[in-house]
Amino acid sequence: MTEDFAGQNKPVPPEQTEQPTAGRGFSTLSVHGGEAHSKPLDAITDPIVCSSTYTFRDTQSVIDFIEQGQQREEYGRYGNPNERVVERKLAALEGGEEAVVFSSGMAAIVGLLMAKLNAGDEIVFFDQCYHRSREFCYKHLARFGVITHQVPTGDFDAMEAAITPRTKMLVSESPTNPQLTCIDLEQFVALGKAHEVETLIDATLATPYNFRPLEFGVDYVLHSATKYLGGHNDLLAGCIVGSHEKLEDVRNLRGIMGGINSPHNLYLLQRGLKTFELRMERHNQNGLAVARFLQDHPRVERVYYPGLESHPTHEIAKRTMRGYGGLITFLLKDADWRQTADVVDRVRLARIGPSLGGVETLIEQPLVMSYYTCTPEQRQQFGIPDNMIRLACGIENTQDLIEDLQQALDD
């Protein structure tokens, strides 16, 4: 009997779905992608299959399943029907062969790196990144003998210099959090190919609507589906998209680690994705309009938004992205941390909270929300000044958002 004994973890191939999606537009993929044309009981929506286990008619059926690697469900940790649909939809939206969905973005990052790296391996990543990703690499991968090199974001010479014969992966976000630096993926992929090192892009802030890294030749695209993909601030999930071959060991490890979603959660994600294109259009519109308003406001020292010409990587963004999303980071002029907090506290429509990409606008001061326990030196190292505010525009009326910020800044 082989190790992969139960024929487990085999995603149902896309060709088994009846819904014709090839060549269809993005919103059509959002609504219909990955879904079967005919569903149980003639329902138009997919049923939520609340089952932790799946039964077999007789012993021979179990043996056939194992020996022939039949594509059917077996046990919930290896997958469920709601997950198959969401995975196919995400793969269709991202233009990838396959997607593997996890219980959170962090579970996806941890799952991918654990599946791909061995003791003695090294990874190199750009330093502007989600703080928990950094923490996982330095605190936890290190315990398993994996070495992480962090280099300044966008500095390809530094990245190349950090590559050794033991380097297995180059990692970056694009755009990065919270400075929204966009990475030149042509250079990033070329560097990986030149050194035969795999490449991973966390494209959570861009989403496949705005940016499709696989088209540049990146090996893995990762998303916190908690953000724009789910889109309603009501679920946590993560996913990795890439080739079937490269994701096989990731899927197998997920079946062992168990970082999977409940069928209910997956249904919420599927439902959220139905309006993905519509939501992204409004996030992009709000992001650009609010960024322009902030840029012109006398109390604002600097705005980081890739859609503004003043952003250091605007040219890369313009060349590679369809829109720039709802996330804006800005610095207040001559404000200490308390005066910055006062502006955050005066905003009424936007709610104070971490996260981004949901329909509700969120605002936060990174110093307080994510870096409060860091020393001032660490905050400086991570590029988090005291007067920084991060605003995640939702899909509310654009003018209402601007008026809300206006009253908070003018007070």
Ligand X SMILES: *Cc1c(COP(=O)(O)O)cnc(C)c1O
Q: Kindly indicate which of the ranges 184-192, 219-227, 363-371, 380-388 contains the residues binding ligand X, using the contact rule CB under 6 A.
A: 219-227
Q: What are the tokens at 269? A: 């994600």
Comparing CB distances to ligand X, the nearer of 207 and 226 is 226
The stretch near ligand X (CB under 6 A) out of 39-47, 98-106, 366-374, 381-389 is: 98-106
Beta-bridged to residue 387, according to DSSP, are none
- Determine, following the binding rule CB under 6 A, whether residue 389 of this chain makes contact with ligand X: no
x/- mask, ligand X, residues 58-97, rule CB under 6 A, reads ----------------------------------------
230 binds ligand X (CB under 6 A): no
Binding segment for ligand X (CB under 6 A), chosen from 152-160, 187-195, 222-230, 402-410, is 222-230
Q: Which residue has the CB atom at the shortest distance from ligand X?
A: 105
Q: Residue from 130, 211, 228, 267 that binds ligand X (CB under 6 A)?
A: 130
DSSP assignment of 35-98 equals: --SS-GGG-SSPP----SB---SSHHHHHHHHHHT-SS--BGGG--HHHHHHHHHHHHHHT-SE
3-state secondary structure of 391: strand
Candidates 64-72, 198-206, 264-272, 341-349; binding stretch for ligand X (CB under 6 A): 198-206
Q: How far apart are CA 138 and CA 146, in angstroms?
A: 9
**Binding window for ligand X (CB under 6 A); candidates: 70-78, 220-228, 287-295, 400-408:** 220-228
| Count of CB atoms situated within 10 Å of the CB of 20 | 10
- Tokens standing for residue 114: 């654990």
CB of 188 to ligand X, least distance (A): 16
**Mutual orientation of helices 398-410 and 337-346 as an angle, nearest 10°?**
140
Tokens of 242: 């890439």
Report how many residues bind ligand X under the rule CB under 6 A. Answer: 15
State yes or no: residue 213 binds ligand X (CB under 6 A): no
What are the structure tokens assigned to 369, written together? 């929300």
- Under the binding rule (CB under 6 A), the answer on residue 105 touching ligand X is yes
Residue 178 touches ligand X, criterion: CB under 6 A: no
Q: Does 365 bind ligand X (CB under 6 A)?
A: no
Q: 173 pairs with which residues across the strands? A: 202
Tell me if 150 sits within 8 A of 127, measured CB to CB. yes
Residues that bind ligand X (CB under 6 A): 104-106, 130, 133, 173, 177, 202, 204-205, 224, 226-227, 236, 238
